Structure 1
């Protein structure tokens, strides 16, 4: 496609990977990376703009004349995050944006045990009522969410999380970025909601078995007590809303909310999506 593209929230890990994916496809001209602090993304080689989800005027200015705006969901309590998303959608509409691509989360329903799902549910509904063309990508969990636990397991031989029996269709953050770029650049995605997942879902016991095989050291999976796990997270200095969200995401996984496997990510990315097992084997 041609036209102006704005990546809103480009300073985060996913936003920077989206920028790298665009550059790898030779798409730089016409792309603006927007962030609360543009200096953090100046080295990526794109035009930049200031866009603060708490500053409607900055959003409207950054989005002016854009054909497509990617809104990467915020990282804040629901009571902060949801108004930020609404503000971005309103600014896009006021600026004459033609289509919004939004990063949601798997099983975005009020019934989800994952607290942030409520914000995604509200944002999806608001976006659909906005009158703008939209594309929603409901992302499953990143493989990178397991990094600290896997590093500990390799040292201690124990992989412990609540909800260990729940299967999750993990995928790499870079593969999510590739799917997002496919949705941004491609055609025929208006009004679509895509399920962005890895090619297979795994529970913690299966992950431990893969680690045992790949490391040559016995790794045991443990279904951790949520209260003790939450106390550990609080001890690391995480805010209460984030502790609640992390406990919720494990509970949601155990309840079967994240076991869906879809080919949407591969379709949008235009390439193979790496499974968790392939990732752990270095393939």
Structure 2
């Protein structure tokens, strides 16, 4: 059995859809915090069990009988994320999983300026030290992140953000398909993968140009100082911790942490990856 955590989330739900295109639904299980939200999956024959990364006993029940478990990185702030991921990994191992997969990131590093990458690096190290076959999917930077900024840009005509650098913007749909292939097929991806990214590197100036092209409205990239941007964001209602978290992304970008692409994703998919231009045109 294949078991997938976070199956009602933006990435996990897509992965489940792609997996049940490859294997019978009865051979797929999901571990979710709220089983009611997965009722549509249960109706398709998917095994739905409640599991929470902060409740190891519940996770062992959710993972029971699994040959392969995909752990989608915990959406927990701070040091607790590493502990939660480790608890899920331990539960998968205790359940007898023959392979544990984890959604890591292209920029995973112990020295990153962007907090999630520290979590990914620590989780990868933990996985590698267990002696269990594993796959750490080094996903490209989620292109959906752009949605947090584009609405305001279209309203004002300015994409006003801190200084950045190139990003490996990659579509959730493509990464979900890659994860499904890794789950369903033997010998496809092992260990820490090469970067799973679309082939194009774009900074926010490039995104502004594409947004202008796709909408017909001129959008200008405006660079705002870190302190000024943070003050404005907090004044608009963003919690201070969230503003500082976001600044970490921009600081990492201008250091070049996300300026990495590779052919592995497209080779795995057997087709071109979706571009930012295509996603903007589709309204995503």
TM above 0.5, yes or no, is yes
CA contact (8 A) 1:124 1:136 kept: yes
Matches within 5 A, 1:57-96: 57-96=57-96
Structure 2 residue aligned with 1:146: 146
Structure 2 residue aligned with 1:172: 171
Q: Deviations over 1:74-128 (max 9, x none)?
A: 1112311110011111111111110011011122112111112111111100000
Q: Deviations over 1:226-252 (max 9, x none)?
A: 223333444555555433322111111
Matches within 5 A, 1:62-141: 62-141=62-141
**Matched residue of 1:109: which SS?**
coil
What CA RMSD, in Å, does the superposition of the two structures yield over aligned residues? 1.9
**Matched residue of 2:11: which SS?**
helix
Partners of 2:192 and 2:106 lie apart in 1 by: 14
Partners of 2:135 and 2:141 lie apart in 1 by: 19
Q: Greater CA deviation, 77-86 or 266-275? A: 266-275
Q: Does residue 35 of the first structure (1) align with residue 17 of the second (2)?
A: no
Q: Does residue 17 of the first structure (1) align with residue 21 of the second (2)?
A: no
TM-score of the pair, normalised by structure 1: 0.92
**CA 1:238–1:212: 2 relative to 1, 3 Å:** closer
CA contact (8 A) 1:10 1:34 kept: yes
Partners of 1:102 and 1:65 lie apart in 2 by: 18
Task: List runs of 5+ in structure 1 lacking aligned partners.
Answer: none
CA contact (8 A) 1:77 1:241 kept: no
CA contact (8 A) 1:168 1:203 kept: yes
Q: Greater CA deviation, 267-276 or 201-210? A: 267-276
CA contact (8 A) 1:180 1:268 kept: no
CA contact (8 A) 1:41 1:48 kept: yes
Partners of 1:262 and 1:211 lie apart in 2 by: 25
Q: Deviations over 1:168-227 (max 9, x none)?
A: 110111111111111111221232423121120101111111222222222100122222
Q: Does residue 196 of the first structure (1) align with residue 193 of the second (2)?
A: no
Task: List runs of 5+ in structure 2 lacking aligned partners.
Answer: none
Q: Deviations over 1:43-96 (max 9, x none)?
A: 133220111100010111111221110000011123111100111111111111
CA contact (8 A) 2:214 2:277 kept: no
Structure 2 residue aligned with 1:260: 260
CA contact (8 A) 1:179 1:266 kept: no
CA contact (8 A) 2:20 2:28 kept: no
What stretches of structure 1 move > 6 A for 4+ residues in a row?
Answer: none
Q: Deviations over 1:257-283 (max 9, x none)?
A: 111111222233343210112222349
Partners of 2:20 and 2:92 lie apart in 1 by: 24
